[in-house]
């Protein structure tokens, strides 16, 4: 595909445990609603139309790169494109968030999913967006791909709508353990093909979002989360080898899974991303030392005054230590945050 050579390799090098000149930094949800230029474009197009139109997805991906000294771009898309590829309707409804008009109401609904699915065909628009974006990045920074992890996707597919307890999805784990595993297995297989497709299309690093791990405990995590995220890292690498495509570093973000940090550091990912509720030093102690850690500024620290934000960011970097560390927020940035503070955060990280 003849992409230009990568000029900024900080984030890749750090993921692989190599020394770098400056601490790399990117921001979860950096390509979204807090940017006026995004809101302008979004006022003219439906959200999923934007995801499905490679030219628009590319433009949004580049927006934060044009503004800030970021060390990575992340492809503009959403984790819910997988349920869509499986035949489910998903709508972004103003004031309600993501809505599935027909969620999975009982395990019998699993058979209604369009599975097996030809990921190459159904999600080709994401692959095209990745290739187009790689060309337009001209090697400035690496391009990250991503996917939701099985439990998080299952949660959305069963809940159908924002819920504070996730009790419908959790009820499945207690009432229908075997059927839940069937669904998680199916999602795992789709995710593996989806990630391999993204890497084939030009993604240079991959993040797996298990955002809803915080609703599990260790025993549920062991059965309904861990095996699947391990299978993803293992099978993605095996499939890449079979296709003679070089491996890329992989990041796992299992939000709230402090009860399983050691296991996460042994799940076959180069990087473990941690949320803001755990102290970096503590987290490192719990994990294998050969892992790179990403995180973990409380997103709300971006509401602080410039001086306070600089102070908090400095403390965070010191707490992580400068090696095997990728700076980020502990979760995605919120729509009402000030882009000027994003700049302060990034520049403070780079000033070390």
Using CB under 6 A, which residues numbered 183 to 242 contact ligand 1CP?
Answer: 209, 211
Q: Of the two residues 168 and 310, which places its CB atom closer to ligand 1CP in the complex?
A: 168
- Can you tell me the distance from the alpha carbon of 189 to that of 295, in angstroms, rounded to the nearest whole number? 28
Q: Select the residue interacting with ligand 1CP from 57, 79, 154, 287 (CB under 6 A).
A: 79
Residue 76 touches ligand 1CP, criterion: CB under 6 A: yes
Q: Of the two residues 42 and 239, which places its CB atom closer to ligand 1CP in the complex?
A: 42
Q: Of the two residues 32 and 54, which places its CB atom closer to ligand 1CP in the complex?
A: 32
Residue 67 touches ligand 1CP, criterion: CB under 6 A: no
- What's the helix, strand, coil split of the chain in %, to 5? 50, 10, 40
Q: Of the two residues 32 and 108, which places its CB atom closer to ligand 1CP in the complex?
A: 32
Residue 29 touches ligand 1CP, criterion: CB under 6 A: yes
Write phi, then psi, for 333 (nearest 5 degrees). -75, 145
β partners of residue 297: 329
Structure tokens at 59: 């433009």
The set of residues, in sequence order, having a beta carbon less than 8 Å from that of 238 and lying 6+ positions away, is none
CA-wise closest residue to 30 among 310, 245, 343? 343
Q: Of the two residues 170 and 331, which places its CB atom closer to ligand 1CP in the complex?
A: 331
> Of all residues in this chain, which one has the CB nearest to ligand 1CP in the complex?
32
Residue 168 touches ligand 1CP, criterion: CB under 6 A: no
Q: Select the residue interacting with ligand 1CP from 16, 92, 171, 245 (CB under 6 A).
A: 92
- Can you tell me the distance from the alpha carbon of 67 to that of 65, in angstroms, rounded to the nearest whole number? 5
Distance of closest approach, residue 31 Cβ to ligand 1CP, in angstroms: 3
Using CB under 6 A, which residues numbered 130 to 149 contact ligand 1CP?
Answer: 146
User: Exposed, middle or buried by CB within 10 Å (0-12, 13-18, 19+), for 167?
Assistant: exposed
CA-wise closest residue to 12 among 161, 203, 151? 203
Per CB under 6 A, the segment of 92-100, 120-128, 217-225, 280-288 that binds ligand 1CP is: 92-100
Distance of closest approach, residue 46 Cβ to ligand 1CP, in angstroms: 9
Residue 250 touches ligand 1CP, criterion: CB under 6 A: no
> Are the beta carbons of 328 and 25 closer than 8 angstroms?
yes
Q: How many CB atoms lie within 10 A of CB 219?
A: 9
Q: How do strand 250-253 and strand 97-99 relate by DSSP bridges?
A: unpaired
Per CB under 6 A, the segment of 10-18, 27-35, 109-117, 280-288 that binds ligand 1CP is: 27-35
Q: Select the residue interacting with ligand 1CP from 33, 182, 239, 314 (CB under 6 A).
A: 33
> Under rule CB under 6 A, how many of the chain's residues touch ligand 1CP?
23
Using CB under 6 A, which residues numbered 304 to 343 contact ligand 1CP?
Answer: 331-332
Write phi, then psi, for 257 (nearest 5 degrees). -90, 55
Residue 97 touches ligand 1CP, criterion: CB under 6 A: yes
Q: Of the two residues 30 and 296, which places its CB atom closer to ligand 1CP in the complex?
A: 30
* 16-21, long-range: CB < 8 A, 24+ apart: 16/249, 16/270, 16/292, 17/270, 17/290, 17/292, 17/324, 19/323
Q: What are the residues binding ligand 1CP (CB under 6 A)? A: 28-33, 42, 47, 74, 76-80, 92, 97-98, 146, 162, 209, 211, 331-332
């Amino acid at each position: 595909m003849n992409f230009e050579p990568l000029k900024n390799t900080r984030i890749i090098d750090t993921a692989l445990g190599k020394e770098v000149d400056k601490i790399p930094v990117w921001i979860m949800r950096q390509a979204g609603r807090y940017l006026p230029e995004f809101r302008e474009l979004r006022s003219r197009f439906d959200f999923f139309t934007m995801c499905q139109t490679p030219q628009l997805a590319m433009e949004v991906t580049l927006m934060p790169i044009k503004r800030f000294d970021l060390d990575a771009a992340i492809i503009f898309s959403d984790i819910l494109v997988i349920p869509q590829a499986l035949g489910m309707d998903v709508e972004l409804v103003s004031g309600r968030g993501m809505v599935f008009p027909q969620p999975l109401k009982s395990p019998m609904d699993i058979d209604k999913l369009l599975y097996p699915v030809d990921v190459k065909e159904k999600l080709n628009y994401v692959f095209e967006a990745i290739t187009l974006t790689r060309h337009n990045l001209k090697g400035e920074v690496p391009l990250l791909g991503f996917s939701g992890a099985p439990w998080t996707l299952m949660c959305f597919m069963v809940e159908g709508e924002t819920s504070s307890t996730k009790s419908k999805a959790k009820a499945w784990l207690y009432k229908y353990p075997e059927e839940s595993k069937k669904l998680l297995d199916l999602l795992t297989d789709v995710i593996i093909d989806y990630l391999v497709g993204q890497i084939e299309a030009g993604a240079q690093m991959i993040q797996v979002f298990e955002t809803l791990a915080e609703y599990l405990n260790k025993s549920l995590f062991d059965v309904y989360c861990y095996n699947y995220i391990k299978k993803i890292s293992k099978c993605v690498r095996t499939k890449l080898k079979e296709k003679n495509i070089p491996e890329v570093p992989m990041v796992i973000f299992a939000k709230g899974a402090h009860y399983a940090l050691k296991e996460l550091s042994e799940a076959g990912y180069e990087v473990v991303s941690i949320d803001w509720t755990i102290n970096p030093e503590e987290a490192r102690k719990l994990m294998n030392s050969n892992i790179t850690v990403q995180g973990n500024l409380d997103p709300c620290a971006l509401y602080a005054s410039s001086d306070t934000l600089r102070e908090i960011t400095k403390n965070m970097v010191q707490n992580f230590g400068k090696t095997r560390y990728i700076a980020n927020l502990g979760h995605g940035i919120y729509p009402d945050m000030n882009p000027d503070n994003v700049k302060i955060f990034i520049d403070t990280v780079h000033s070390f």
